[in-house]
A and B are shown apart, each in its own frame.
Chain A
């Protein structure tokens, strides 16, 4: 069973640029969630994709956008990068079950984004 993978591992960008982060979900999972983790803080929910549709969004501006593909892999795109976007971006996959409260998520190793 292949776990969640993310690419790239590290990325350095300058203010105003755009970035795309990628995530491959764990085998058998159809849901991908993205989180932003600033240094020394807990993760903050960005959005979730379920069967290629956005299924919920946290308090992030529209310049944060995403995609999910038919194989359930996902991309996170951030436009007009700001210094405060510097963080660890975590991708997590899960398998939606009938119980709406079930949400055990399996995480990738993250992408460290630095905005200069």
Chain B
């Protein structure tokens, strides 16, 4: 069975700093997708970035980028030039053949002014 682990329950950085959130996963599948979702206090789960496992190039979306290490089963999220609006819960999720998403426990990110 697949598992997703986020080892940082909470992180706090100053505005404009760079922060990296960690995620590790376990699977025996070779073809899968990994996601980072953001859940602000409004509760709406918003997709931040997506990585296809068969792509070696790390995905980037503006200030958000990932470090995908397939052999190590690691998928970290880097947020550059952090903004107050980045304050939220961040969830790492695994999507494989079974179609359901397997989620980590989340990391609470606080951006301080």
Q: What residues of chain A have their CB less than 8 Å away from a CB belonging to chain B? A: 31, 33, 35, 40-45, 48, 55-56, 58, 88, 90, 92, 96, 99-110, 112
Contact = CB atoms under 8 A, between A and B. Distances in A.
A45 B97 CA distance: 14
B100 A58 contact: yes
A100 B35 contact: no
Interface of B: 4, 29, 31-33, 35, 37, 42-47, 50, 53, 91, 93, 95-106
Nearest to B91: A42
Given A102-B33, A104-B33, A45 B101 contact: yes
A106 B46 CA distance: 8
Given A33-B101, A43-B103, A48-B99, A101 B44 contact: no
A42 B103 contact: yes
A42 B106 contact: yes
A92 to B, nearest CB: 8
Nearest to B46: A107
17 contacts: A33-B101, A40-B106, A42-B103, A42-B105, A43-B103, A44-B103, A45-B101, A45-B102, A48-B99, A56-B98, A92-B101, A101-B31, A101-B53, A103-B99, A105-B101, A109-B44, A110-B43
B102 to A, nearest CB: 7
Contacts of A31: 99
A56 B93 CA distance: 17
Contacts of B101: 33, 35, 43, 45, 92, 103, 105
